[in-house]
Structure 1
Amino acid sequence: MNSIRLFLIIFILSLCGCVQTGGDNQVKAAQGYLDLSRWDFAQLGLAPLDGDWEFYQHSINSSDSPRLLLRKTKKDFFPIPSIWRGDTTQGVPLTSQGQGIYHLRVQLAPESGADSLYIAGMLSVCRVWVNGDLVAASGTPGNNIELEIPQKHLLTPNFPRAGRYVDIVLELSNFHNKEGGINSSILIGTRDQIQDLINNRRISGAITGGALLIMGIYHLIIFLMLRSNRENLYFGLFCILWCIGTVFSPSSAFLVTKFFTFDWGWYIKICLLPAGLTVPLLLIFYNSLFPQKYGEKVNLIYLVFGGIYIVYILVSPPSAYSLGPLAYFLVSRTAYVYLFASFINDLRKKRKGAIYLAPGYLALACAELNEVFFDFNIFNSVDFAPYGTFMFILSYSLLMSARFSETLSKYEKISGELETSKKDEHDHKIVHVRLSKMLNTVDEALLAVNSDLIIDFCNGSFEKLSGFQDIKIQGHHLVQLFESNGHHEIEDLLQLLRPQSVAAGKVRKDNFKFPIADGKILNASISMWQMEVENETIYVISVSPAAVVLDKRQLAVQIMNSSIECWEKSADQDKASLATQSGLWNVYMEKDGYSRTQTLDRYLSEETLPSRPRWKNVYATVEFVLANTAARDATYLELEKGIAELKKMS
């Protein structure tokens, strides 16, 4: 908050320094005469030639000089600056188009050194005589639109001094513009002062216009890189339009004419056109930053107004001071009422960043009011507009800086989290590789999960036993995996996986209902223990199917099948040869030459096993196979063990 208060103080001081006031030094012309004999040009600077000038409006084509025409008519007066509206001092009604002659006699101190004029705002063509000499012209005046040729918007004539008095005559004609007259103060001073004024205004315009152009391009580039942030698009376009208005504006001494030549009419149109978009863009920009309830409707209304204004400027003659631009100017300024109300509401709601824009909108409002006062001849300067724009850019820069700082902090935080995540992922991969090497070397069905119950690995034995595949279940949560396969009652398993249970040592649970694929349940014995792999805690679950106790009939079927398997592997012969060579089972030859062992086959399944089996044949078959098998492999050992258990049951 201290930085905001400091900025507000600097802004107010800058605002005070930009306001131009006449004070007690302001003098006015009266009845075509102005006394500047006491005006100190060295201390007070340029003197405005404001006030009532001797004036005569006509529409005749005369070869007489303007000074002579004035002498032939009754004296009448009309003020500068002002446009041709209303009546003269003598009650003569004025027309917006026609010809007019101004005359002013100025008294100067002999040592003043004033020998130059600054004339802008003449509508449309002006010729300047000083002490009877033609010193400047902004084009060719005429009594109709075909003869009138406007060319320039600014005149800075120098004139020779001849005594204490300066006799100034202005010949004006207007057939190209909808309004006539001179709507800017005419200034008098030394050549250096006039040149300094032009240079200062152009330098100020160049700095402001350059800053606006750079800001506009900068924000448009940001928008192209990050299209979701449309505030940059609106602000970039706003800055570029303000840049155009600034370099074409009289307040920058028509800077662009220093480098380029434009058609007189199009120059005025280009000066006026940006206003059709700057106000709508300002509203869209603000409503984008701080969305309002009726923001979109307000944006649409002012876009329509702006569009109508632009079409009007394009299709109508140059009309800087006509009723059309003035009407749009007044209507569009209601946007500031909306902006001010929205801004107060945003401040009341304490919307983040709204306070940063306060000085900028206040400066813009002051700049617009300054132009209003200028148009109504209340203030004689429009120099505050560039400063108002600069203040607005500065306030927006403060807001963007605050947002950028916040975004950068979030970015750094996210970057840190991302680095941590990458490290964890790398460590996890190392853990997985290590676990793969360790667990794939054992025959037990093993499943490994981390402290968050995320599956790290399962070996091939677990895949065969459970029906789950390592590549599909890796990275899944253990609970979600089981629930997605139709198992919802797994509290017993979760109880065993609690850290306090496993940390105490190896945990074993027999006759446990372990969930497997396809919603099936496996009756198994499970063991769980904790291990550390690359500084990560891993819980290993070993799953072993519960041992099945077989009865005598089941065991007989099992060892008969094992006998045939062992015979086929060792002797490389089928069961028919076993029946024939052992002499224990009948063999029937079919017509097709196929040997059938119907009796032996009945002993290979529980369903076909006779109710009263020939136990001696079973024992003898197993013993025959064992006696004729050379390899003492696992199948042989299981068969030997099985026959021993069967004999114990007899």
Structure 2
Amino acid sequence: MRYLLLFLFLPSALLAAPTAVQGKLDLHAWDLNDPVQLFGQWDFYANEFLSPDSLKEAPPAAHYIDVPSFWNGYDYDGRILDGHGYATYRLQVSGDFAGKPMGLHIADMQSAYELYVDGQLIASAGKPGTSAETAIARWAPQVAYFQPATNTIDLVLHISNYEHRQGGTWAYFTFGSAKAIAYERDLSVAFDLFLAGSLLIMAFYHLGLFALRNEDRSALYFGLFCLITTLRILVSGERVLTTFLPEMSFAIQLRIEYLSMALGLPLFTAYIRNLYPDTAKWQYFIVTDVIAGVAAAIILFLPTDIFNHTSVPLQLTIMAVSIIIFTVMIQTIRKGRDGAIPAVAGMVFLLFCLINDIAYVHGYIQSINLYPFGLFVFIFSQSFNLSLIFSRAFRSVERLSTDLALTNDSYSRFVPREFLRHLNKQDIREIELGDQVEGDMTVLFSDIRSFTSRSEKMTPQECFQFLNDYLGRVSPVVRSYGGFIDKFIGDAIMPIFPDSPNNAVRAAIEMQKEVARMNERGTEPLQIGIGIHTGRLALGTIGERDRMEGTVISDAVNLASRLQDLTKKLQSPIILSETTYNQISHREGMRYLGSVRVKGKSELTRIYAVDLDLPVTAADQNARL
């Protein structure tokens, strides 16, 4: 919360805080339970390491330099300082803190230092030296605690830099009560860990999305960008990674920090190009990607005092890319793309934080490092944008799945699922012309008697309505006994019973009973004849590439049809072949009719009737007479 308030009210906060003037800072009026930045004019002695005792006893004439700032370009007795060298800083702080536990939060110094309070060494990072050979650079933000004996403390800082292009104090010293400083440091570390953890989760989430759906590379590039940004946060700010890897050298830290900029830039432009291919053309980013690639090679293979000069070109390139992406996002908003508005808001916030940090790093303004926070907000907005896109894609998939299920259901009305099952197919899309399977099955052939004369009395609409009413009653009977209807042939139907002839006979009996129930409505009596035969069938597809259908090819089909023809002549509603008769288990109510020679068969066929207790029509009475 403290950092959020500092961010919201940063200008007024900086103006209200006391400022050091000519090496002295008075904090008597300041409540040190609220930590204060020790910025302002410190005594400055270039190219000298003066001991705390010598400064107290006989301090030489001092120059003054703002803290934090770099000494690059500083006019020191007519000599313009460059980034390399060493110096002594001094600040005398007065306030109401004698005998109280106090603390200092020391951020990055450039690039090795020792800090003394009242002559006692309380903190160091690396080893400051008078030459590149004697100095050891190291970044290690830390907290130091002490208890002043008086109300005035004497801060002396020895600092050297031979690794970076800029030398001096990069960040603030924060002074306050020990409890307040510990709280501030813990909050700062917690915030870095929160950012790193959040970005790491986003990285793995989007990499997981890509693993599951690798057609969309935007998730891959965004996940890698989050991963690199996570690494950058861990080696900057409080440099949490050094807590787990205390021996990590300054050069490695700096290399990782700079590489995260150089590699993150093309990854992010690739993400934008894949996310908005219609507005983010690859030509927009070719120059910036080349700059980033060259910078990455320099960072990887050249020493720190050379590759750290890539910082400014990379920052300017990032600014240029941000402006290009901002333009792309505005075009995206105009096209009404989902999630574009949150993405633009995140981009504007990141640009603000980026400009703030560039100005802060180069010493143009007094501020705080906002880039990690701005990056988090921006990445969160982009993650939200990706979530919207994937959510929309998921809803589209759901709709397509529902449509596909409905389509398959519709196809099943034309191609029975049992037909697919017997061909060992899971989906109609797997069906190929010529697919076929053979097996012993029972064919039932049913036909309405005198349908032609009946249909002549109906209009086409009435005829269709009559047939659909009839078929709507007998078809469920077939399915209830394990059969499936291979064909509707006008008023005739041809079900197949793959499992047992018993099911076919039971279905035939139930079909006749269903017709009897229809006749109870008092309309013109309806009669059907059913022929049943069991034999070897070939079930498969015929036709040509653009038009095919399922069918059954076998002499058993022809024989079942001929037996149905005999039902009217022999006045038996159901006639079985001997083959079927021999395979059924219950034969009560069945009688032998004799041997007949059916059309298309040279041999006699023994046939059996299934007697039913059904009403006899006038036509049947006349036929028997």
TM-score (norm 1): 0.62
Distance verdict in 2 for CA 1:411–1:207, change over 3 Å: same
**1:110, distance to aligned residue in structure 2 (A):** 4.1
What secondary structure sits across from 2:113 in the alignment? strand
Q: Which moved more, 1:531-540 or 1:216-225?
A: 531-540
Aligned to 2:350: 364
* Equivalent position to 1:343, from 321, 326, 329: 329
The alpha-carbon distance between structure 1 residues 502 and 227, as it changes in their structure 2 partners (threshold 3 A), is same
User: How far does residue 539 in structure 1 lie from its aligned partner after superposition?
Assistant: 6.5
Corresponding residue number in structure 2 for 1:214: 201
User: 2:89 matched to which residue of 1?
Assistant: 102
| Matches of 1:129 and 1:27, distance apart in 2 | 22
* Counterpart residue type for residue 416 of structure 1: T
Aligned to 1:132: 119
The equivalent of 1:577 in structure 2 is none
Which residue in 1 is equivalent to 2:426? none
1:552 paired residue number: none
CA drift at 1:417: 2.4
1:136-175 to structure 2, matched below 5 A, reads 136-175=123-162
1:392 corresponding residue in structure 2 = 378
Match of 1:26 among 4, 17, 20: 17
Separation of aligned partners in 2, 1:125 and 1:500: 103
User: How far did 1:47 drift?
Assistant: 1.1
| Cα distance between partner residues in 1 of 2:463 and 2:332 | 60
Kept in 2, the 8 Å contact 1:113–1:189? The answer is no
The reply on whether 1:257 has 2:247 as its aligned counterpart is no
Does the residue aligned with 2:314 lie in a helix, a strand or coil? helix
How far 1:302 moved relative to its partner? 2.0
Match of 1:57 among 27, 30, 46: 46
Aligned to 1:308: 294
Match of 2:285 among 299, 318, 325: 299
Q: Runs of 4+ in structure 1 displaced over 6 angstroms?
A: 13-16, 468-472, 535-539, 632-635
Amino acid aligned to 2:349: A
Q: SS where residue 304 of structure 2 aligns?
A: coil
For 1:310 and 1:205, locate their aligned partners in 2 and report how far apart those are by CA, in whole Å: 25
- The answer to whether 1:39 aligns with 2:44 is no
Change beyond 3 A, Cα 1:269–1:79? same
Say if 2:258 is the partner of 1:272.
yes
Cα pair distance change 1:348/1:110, threshold 3 Å? same
Q: Alpha-carbon deviation of 1:538? A: 7.7
Q: Separation in 1 of the partners of 2:369 and 2:227?
A: 19
What secondary structure sits across from 1:117 in the alignment? strand
SS at match of 1:149: coil
Amino acid at match of 1:407: A
| Matched residue type, 2:404 | L
Aligned-partner residue type, residue 24 of structure 2: Y
Conserved 8 A contact 1:114-1:189: no
Q: Give 2:359's aligned residue.
A: 373
Shift of 1:471: 7.3
The one-letter code of the counterpart of 1:50 is F
Asked if structure 2 preserves the Cα contact closer than 8 Å seen for 1:179 and 1:322, the reply is no
Counting matched residue pairs gives 452
Q: Which residue of 2 aligns with 1:618?
A: none
Change in CA separation of 1:89 and 1:32 when aligned onto 2, cut-off 3 Å: farther
State the Cα distance separating 1:415 from its structure 2 match. 2.4
Q: CA deviation at 1:422?
A: 3.3
**Secondary structure, in 3 states, of the residue corresponding to 1:142?**
coil
Query: What is the Cα deviation at residue 15 of structure 1?
Result: 9.2
Summarize the Cα distance change of 1:92–1:117 in structure 2 as closer, same or farther, 3 Å threshold. farther
AA aligned to 2:288 is: Y
Letter in 1 for 2:26: D
Tell me whether 91-100 or 423-432 shows the greater mean CA deviation: 423-432
Q: In 2 relative to 1, CA 539–240 (structure 1 residues): closer, same or farther, beyond 3 Å? A: same
**Contact conserved, 2:99 with 2:147, CA < 8 A, in 1?**
no
User: 1:245 and 2:236 equivalent?
Assistant: no
1:584-607 CA distance string (max 9 Å, x none): xxxxxxxxxxxxxxxxxxxxxxxx
The Cα of 1:264 is off from its aligned counterpart by: 2.1
Aligned with 1:74: secondary structure?
coil
Q: 1:430 to 1:65 in 2, by over 3 A?
A: closer
Correspondence for 1:540 = 489
Maintained 8 Å contact 1:313/1:319: no
- Evaluate the alpha carbon distance shift between residue 367 and residue 470 of structure 1 in structure 2; reply closer, same or farther with a 3 A threshold: closer
**Pair 16,397 (structure 1): closer, same or farther in 2 beyond 3 Å:** farther
Letter in 2 for 1:33: K
Alignment root-mean-square deviation, CA: 3.9
Q: Does 1:407 align with 2:393?
A: yes
* TM-score normalized with structure 2 length: 0.64
- Residue type of the partner of 1:272? Y
Q: Secondary structure at the match of 2:90?
A: strand
Q: Distance in 1 between matches of 2:27 and 2:434?
A: 102
CA displacement at 1:169 relative to structure 2: 0.7
SS at match of 1:394: helix
1:33, distance to aligned residue in structure 2 (A): 1.2
Alpha-carbon spacing, 1:351–1:411, altered in 2? closer, same or farther (3 Å): closer
**1:459-474 to 2 correspondences below 5 Å:** none
The answer on whether the counterparts of 2:360 and 2:369 sit within 8 Å (CA) in structure 1 is: no
Aligned with 2:144: secondary structure? coil
- Give me the whole-angstrom Cα distance separating, in 2, the residues matched to 1:168 and 1:292: 59
Q: Percent identity?
A: 25
Q: 2:290 and 2:164 mapped to 1: Cα distance?
A: 25
**1:475-533 alpha-carbon deviations (Å, 9 max, x no partner):** xxxxxxxxxxxxxxxxxxxxxxxx98586479xxxxxxxxxxxxxxxxxxxxxxx9667
**2: distance between equivalents of 1:179 and 1:192?**
33
CA distance in 1: counterparts of 2:324 and 2:250, whole angstroms: 36
- 1:606 maps to which residue? none
- Structure 2 stretches lacking a partner, 5+ long: 423-432, 438-457, 477-484, 492-595, 600-625
**Aligned partners of 2:36 and 2:6: how far apart in 1?**
21
Give the match's secondary structure for 1:129.
strand
Change (3 A) 1:281 1:15: farther
The 3-state SS of whatever aligns with 1:187 is strand
Q: Which has the higher strand share?
A: 2
Q: Deviations over 1:241-278 (max 9, x none)?
A: 1111111112xx11112222212221121122101122
C-alpha contact (below 8 Å) 2:98/2:151 kept by paired residues: no
Q: Assess if the C-alpha contact under 8 Å between 2:279 and 2:328 holds in 1.
A: no
- What secondary structure does 2:188 align onto? helix
Structure 1 residues 205 and 168 mapped into 2: Cα distance closer, same or farther (>3 Å)? same
Once the two structures are superposed, what CA deviation does each residue of 1:371-407 show, in whole Å capped at 9, x if it has no partner?
1232133554445333323322332343233333323
Cα separation, partners in 2 of 1:31 and 1:231, compared to 1, 3 Å: same
Could you tell me how far apart the structure 1 residues matched to 2:322 and 2:290 are? 17
Question: Aligned pair in 2 of structure 1 residues 392, 156: CA closer, same or farther (>3 Å)?
Answer: same
C-alpha displacement at 1:420, in angstroms? Answer: 2.5
Alignment of 1:440-455 (within 5 A): none
| Contact kept? 1:66, 1:171, Cα under 8 Å | no
Shift of 1:332: 2.2
Contact 1:99 1:143 in 2 (8 A): yes
Residues 97-151 of structure 1 show CA distances to partners (whole Å, capped at 9, x for unaligned) of: 1110111111112469462222222112111111122222212222222211234
The answer (yes or no) to whether the contact 1:29–1:50 under 8 Å persists in 2 is yes
Q: Is the 8 A contact 2:288 2:317 kept in 1?
A: no
Per-residue deviation, 1:57: 0.9
